Chains A and B, each alone.
Chain A
Amino acid sequence: MSDKVKFKIDGKECVADKGVNLVDAAKQNGIYIPTLCHLEGVKPAGSCRVCNVKINGRFMTACTTPVADGMEVENNTQDIQELRKIIVETLFVSGNHYCPACEKSGCCELQALGYKFTMLVPRFPYAFEPKEVDAESTKLFIDRNRCILCKRCVRSIKSKDGKSIFAIKGRGHNAMINIDHELAAQMTDEEATMAMDNCPVGSILKKERGYYTPIGSRKYDKEPIGSDIEESVII
């Protein structure tokens, strides 16, 4: 048992492997902590802030925090859910998200979180900022209208010799995702598919392929995001 740690989430006794981050540790115990930038197996960024929880009374992001013995975690409280909802709404109004026309609708984690937090309409005014679409790459579209700057692509998709294919350009609310066209041209079909699948929204799309899975039978069409975790307890 030495490689296991005991902790509590919202009062529930939990056990997890030592050293794993709190998002994955919660998952092992059938508890869903919402995330957007987190991607299992990739170094956490802690940038979307949706996985904010209270650990021993302090707000911290679950994806960047390794679980430790005796941790008291608050996850599903009114304050925390309100914070998460505000973040999700912020992401909706700062981009241009027209779900009905988006290839990722039904598979989109941002949209799914919108439903999860029963966001009927964002409380903030829409920015409607013009964003550039980059279609220069042979395999991929980059639609910055939908990008939430989670950096999943930056962290998970590299060239064969380990160079960045994606990176951020600019800073603050002008920051945007950038793609290296030369390196992107060398991507295989599988790598391009992976880039698209790793994107939580519809910002990275593979060319010459659309609506592969019909709307109505997509990932979040029938069950809300996180329900797969809440139904199955691994340990």
Chain B
Amino acid sequence: MSSNVQSIVEKYGNNANRLMDILHDIHSEKGFVSNGEMKEIALLLNISKVDVEQTLTFYHFFSENPRGKYTIYLNNSLVAEMMGREEVAKTFEKATGTKFGTVSDDGLFGLYDTSCIGMNDQEPAAIINGIVFPRVTTYRVKELIRSFRQGHTVEDMINSYGGGQNQSELVQAMVTNNLNRRGAVIFSDYTPGEGLEKLKSLKPQDIIEEVKNSNIRGRGGAGFPTGLKWDFCSKAEGDERFVLCNADEGEPGTFKDRVILTERPSLMFEGMIIAGYAINAKLGLLYLREEYYYLKKHLEFVLSDFRQKGWLGNNILGIEGFNYDIRIQFGAGAYVCGEESALIESCEGKRGEPRNRPPFPVQVGYLNQQTIINNVESLSSVTKIIANGADWFKSMGTKESSGTKLLSISGDLKYPGTFEVEWGITINEMLEMAGATDVKAVQVGGPSGRLIGPNEFHRTICYEDLPTGGAMIVIGEGRSILDVVMNFMDFFIEESCGSCAPCRYLTVILRNKMKKIIDGKGVASDLDEIVHWGKQMKIANRCGLGQSAANPILTSIENFRHEYEAKIEKGKDFDTEFDLNSAIIESARAVGRFPEA
């Protein structure tokens, strides 16, 4: 037994629910977790080795094998592709002498694709040994690989600091905020503690009432009323309650939480404390995606500062019996963990597979206790609601959508970045605001949302018309809609947890059908079939990922059917995909006789 594994497992109290942390710690030391180490962990946690392995192999950033001294994860989101990823990827392969998905023979470089890393406003972007490299050019690739070969560290290659807190000593990241528009809630003037101050004079139920009165709905995309969720949780019977903050923003095209985590972490943590007070919780977890690991020290500093100020710990703000703390729980690369019940599973050290519901997390959540899960932006807004009042909040937005919304706008436009707007602006206004012209389509809410064309640009961004978690991908006139859809389908296939049979493989079938159409081998009946099969996805699967995995196909056929039809073979009602010559080539070679042309 290696003393190292033992000390790491002991650090987490030999608790199997902390398996994610244990695997993270071993990973950060040597870059992978070996079979022998899995056995040791299993023994120490008193679980079977296959249980350790099933968690480890679920997450994209965990590995059973070495992934190179320099492990390069290159984002493959749609916008990365739009911004020239292909050339950058080729240059990486040429410079390192290895292909994507493999490690170079000398063990120096590992090259891997990765789903959207929350940098769509500065693509192409890569993560190398945990450090984010935005706006990577072919020149930069050559420079990086040359320098690594000369023995430079990844830290040596940081050549600029982004603005704001990105340049603070605790972050020192090349990432830029691109905060293009500050609004009245999240990015307005703010003094840490202004929400907490009110707790001294308010009872937990008063807080819940205030949040309910504000009409705030979940900012992650689903739009469930936040106050109602808290009310359900506080009234559910149980021993312990938990607050989970969902900072796993994995929807391709979203990056607004990154900016909150960088510039306004106190606002979010205050929201978590207010939530803890409202539902009488003892512990809050910030579930942070590993892509944002570079913010760890920065966020931990804020938490230790809060503890010093008496905002975390025992008898917070002098309120007798209000004992509460927050810890950061890292994910390890899995889009599906943004789904709240999958997020809970991950926090418990398991595979991020969504649970069957009911019961809902407010009844049976983290460690089977009553749990609320709120988005970073929702909790940040709550701090301002408590500081300034529900009426102030309701004075902004539309009738059913109060307050502001952060939009992450990227793609073909002049000013990609985060914009805080009041609910109620139209898509046309949004495009004008962000400097987008000659727009063919907008992907509203990321791949799981809707692909809309100019005929819907008059629609209003709000829960009553066009709801969104904030990811807005602008697709210019010159782009092929079918290529857009293909990228999204690959994404859903990569990120399916694999639990539900239709999501596991019908996604692959749909992608293959798309490929057939793109290759010019599609016939008219293929379009009907792909729609029919796609509709099954909506009803067949357990969670939002599976239910929306066919949305790119369904909404693009709805709005851009002509692009599909242009690719369909005309006048043929039989399948031309089957190529007899290529099917028999192997046996033709074996017998040495070839069909005549």
- A residues sitting closer than 8 Å to B (CB atoms) are 44-50, 52, 59, 61, 64, 82-83, 86-87, 90-91, 93-94, 123-125, 127, 148-149, 159, 163-175, 178-180, 182-183
- The reply to whether A172 and B498 form a contact with Cβ atoms under 8 Å apart is yes
**Cα distance, A179 to B50, chains bound together (Å):** 7
If A47-B499, A49-B541 touch, whether A168 touches B505 (CB-CB below 8 Å) is no
**Cα distance, A174 to B540, chains bound together (Å):** 20
Instruction: Decide yes or no whether B542 CB sits under 8 A from chain A.
Output: yes
Which one, B51-59, B284-292, B555-563, is touching chain A? B51-59
Given contacts A45-B499, A94-B504, 8 further A-B contacts (CB under 8 A): A47-B542, A90-B501, A125-B509, A159-B48, A164-B51, A168-B498, A170-B57, A174-B498
- The reply to whether B536 and A180 form a contact with Cβ atoms under 8 Å apart is no
Which of B49, B50, B497, B509 counts the most A-chain CB atoms under 10 A from its CB?
Answer: B50
- The reply to whether B53 and A178 form a contact with Cβ atoms under 8 Å apart is yes
> DSSP class of B's interface residues: helix, strand, loop or mixed?
helix
Closest 10 CB pairs between A and B?
A: A175-B498, A167-B50, A94-B505, A163-B48, A167-B54, A172-B496, A64-B356, A180-B50, A59-B539, A46-B356
- The reply to whether B509 and A93 form a contact with Cβ atoms under 8 Å apart is yes
Interface range for B: 35 or more
If A125-B512, A167-B54, A170-B57 touch, whether A49 touches B502 (CB-CB below 8 Å) is yes
Instruction: Decide yes or no whether B47 CB sits under 8 A from chain A.
Output: yes
CB-contact partner of A169 in B48, B50, B509, B540, under 8 A: B50
27 A–B contacts from the bound complex (CB under 8 Å): A46-B356, A46-B542, A49-B540, A49-B541, A52-B539, A64-B356, A83-B539, A87-B501, A87-B502, A87-B540, A90-B506, A90-B509, A93-B509, A94-B504, A94-B508, A163-B46, A163-B47, A163-B51, A164-B50, A165-B50, A169-B50, A169-B57, A171-B496, A172-B498, A173-B496, A175-B497, A183-B48
Instruction: Decide yes or no whether B294 CB sits under 8 A from chain A.
Output: no
CB-contact partner of B50 in A91, A123, A171, A178, under 8 A: A178
**Cα distance, A51 to B422, chains bound together (Å):** 44
Instruction: Decide yes or no whether B493 CB sits under 8 A from chain A.
Output: yes
Contacts of A164 in B (CB 8 A): 47-48, 50-51
CB closest chain-A residue, reference B50 = A167
B392 to chain A, nearest CB (A): 38
Instruction: Decide yes or no whether B495 CB sits under 8 A from chain A.
Output: yes
A179 to chain B, nearest CB (A): 7
**Cα distance, A127 to B493, chains bound together (Å):** 15
- The reply to whether A90 and B54 form a contact with Cβ atoms under 8 Å apart is no
Contacts of A123 in B (CB 8 A): 529
CB closest chain-B residue, reference A169 = B57
